[in-house]
A and B are shown apart, each in its own frame.
Chain A
């Protein structure tokens, strides 16, 4: 049975991804700061902060004993904060960087070690169209995801010798908590900049992730795939 680690599985895209791979017969390990919202015999939940190094290491040790190896990692956990840069406190900056950048890095580091025996490890990080579109009000969120994209490309080089691919998917806005509170005129303006002008759906994300996880995708690494025709 293939095993996959997905961060941020309590709700939204992460929960949908976990349910998708459970239905596809994968063994899934998820995490969130809160308790699990998924009840399935092939699902294991860890309550932790993704930027807590010690907690991430302990999760990896537990997975080593429980699964033996990890085939794939989806670094879905992320937070955003829409605000003008001049009104953004340093505490918000630190919080976003810790979760989006440090959390992504720690999971890549620890789970890559557990992929060594698989011969075909897969890491998919999560970025956003807010970065290529340079969205006003998203300075820190977009900057954190720019860091994730850079991390993705460099890890792709560093982990290639371990036969691990590292790619990223950049969803457009999707109806989740992450964009709750964004004014509708801002959302309309954002959608107008996409080649395909509609809100994204969680199935759009699942399709892109499925593509990166396929056995046949072993020659695809270091790539960032934006949805909706954003480039």
Chain B
């Protein structure tokens, strides 16, 4: 079972790769506090969809876990799991542990 830092490292790598592919300068060197979607987030909805699918693929490949990061709070400015790297790490860990 991966721990929190394993998940965070995987998400940071996914964000970095996506930022290169989509040429998103603000996310080329992401940290746990990097805003992703909504408010100050640098991702548009298409980039977000790609990031989520990339992370699901990576979790399956690295940790042999089948998860979906679909979430009914996706569009919530306050509670969206996609708002930054930290919240996305929490959401991913929660699903792997479920």
* CB–CB B60/A113 < 8 A: no
* Chain B residues bordering chain A, tally (CB within 8 A): 11
Most chain B Cβ neighbours within 10 Å, of A58, A61, A64: A61
Give chain A residues whose Cβ lies under 8 Å from the Cβ of B56. 113
Task: Say how far A115's CB is from chain B's closest CB, in angstroms.
Answer: 10
Residues of A with C-beta under 8 A to B66: 54, 57-58, 60-61
- Whether the pair A161, B57 counts as a contact (CB closer than 8 A) is no
Q: What is the minimal beta-carbon distance from B70 to any residue of chain A, in angstroms?
A: 7
Interface residue? A20 (CB, 8 A) = no
The answer to whether A53 touches B50, judged by C-beta atoms less than 8 angstroms apart, is no
Question: Interface readout for A193-217 with B: 1 if CB under 8 Å, 0 if not?
Answer: 0000000000000000000000000
Collect the chain B residues with CB atoms within 8 Å of residue A162's CB.
Answer: 46, 49
Inter-subunit contact B53/A113 (CB<8 Å): yes
Q: Mark A143-184, 1 if CB is under 8 A from B, else 0.
A: 000000000000000000110000000000000000000000
Tell me the residues in window 47-85 of chain B with beta carbons closer than 8 Å to chain A beta carbons.
49-50, 53, 56-57, 60, 66-68, 70
Interface centre among B53, B56, B60, B66 (most CB of A within 10 A): B66
- The answer to the question of A116 belonging to the interface, with a C-beta cut-off of 8 Å to chain B, is yes
- Please give the number of chain A residues whose Cβ is less than 8 angstroms from any Cβ of chain B in the complex: 14
Known A116-B50, A116-B53, A161-B46: A109·B70 in contact at CB below 8 Å: yes
Task: Give the residue of B46, B49, B50, B68 whose beta carbon is less than 8 angstroms from that of A57.
Answer: B68
Complex Cα gap A113–B46 (Å): 12
B67, chain A: closest CB distance, angstroms: 7
Q: Which residues of A have CB within 8 Å of B70?
A: 109
**Is B53 a contact of A64 with CB atoms below 8 Å?**
no
Residues on B lying within 8 angstroms of A by beta carbon are 46, 49-50, 53, 56-57, 60, 66-68, 70
Give 21 pairs: A residue, B residue, CB < 8 Å, sorted on A. A53-B68, A54-B66, A57-B66, A57-B68, A58-B66, A60-B66, A61-B60, A61-B66, A64-B57, A64-B60, A109-B68, A109-B70, A110-B68, A113-B53, A113-B56, A113-B57, A116-B50, A116-B53, A161-B46, A162-B46, A162-B49
